Amino acid sequence: MDQLLLVVGLSILGLLGTIHLIYTFFTEKFTPFDASVTEAMKATSPRLTKETTVWRAWVGFNASHSLGVMFFAAVYISLATYHFEVVKSSLWLSVLPVIVGFAYLILAYKYWFKIPFIGVFMSLCCFMFSAWLINM
C-alpha cells in the first residue's frame, strides 16, 4: 500500500505537470484576456536583463516549472517502482515527496487556482500516508 500510494501521488503530480506543459505551448490558456497586456509583456524586458522579454520569460518559467514537476515525478516513479527498498531504507527519500508536496500546496494556495490546489492536495495526502506507512 505504501508503494502504491507513493506512485499514485507522483502520477497525479506528473499529470498536472504534463497538462501544464501542453497548456503552455499548445493553447492560449496562460495568455491574458486583455491583449494589451500580452503586447506589453512582449514589448518590455525585466530589469534583470534586456536579453529577453517579460513574455518570453513567462513562457520559459511556465515550461521549466512543468518540466521540473514532470522530472520529479518520473524519477520518483522509477525509484518507487523498481527500487522501492531504497526509498523504504531512507528517511530522506521517504519524506522528500511530502516536503515537495507541501511546498507545492503552499504555492497552489497562495498563487494558483482550485484545480491544481486539489490535485496537489491529493498528491500530498498520498505522500503523507505513504511516508507514515514506510516509517511506522
- Helix runs in the chain, H state only: 2-26, 35-43, 54-82, 84-88, 91-111, 114-135
End-to-end Cα, the chain, rounded Å: 13
136 vs 71, higher pLDDT? 71
What is the pLDDT, as a whole number, of residue 69?
97
The answer to whether the beta carbons of residues 10 and 80 sit under 8 Å apart is yes
Sorted by sequence, the CB contacts under 8 Å of residue 58 that are 6+ apart come out as 30, 41
The whole-model pTM stands at: 0.89
Contact of 100 with 72, CB cutoff 8 Å = yes
Q: What average pLDDT does this structure show over 66-88?
A: 97
User: Which pLDDT score, from 0 to 100, does residue 50 have?
Assistant: 95
Q: Using the structure block, give the residue that is written with the C-alpha cell 490535485.
A: 119
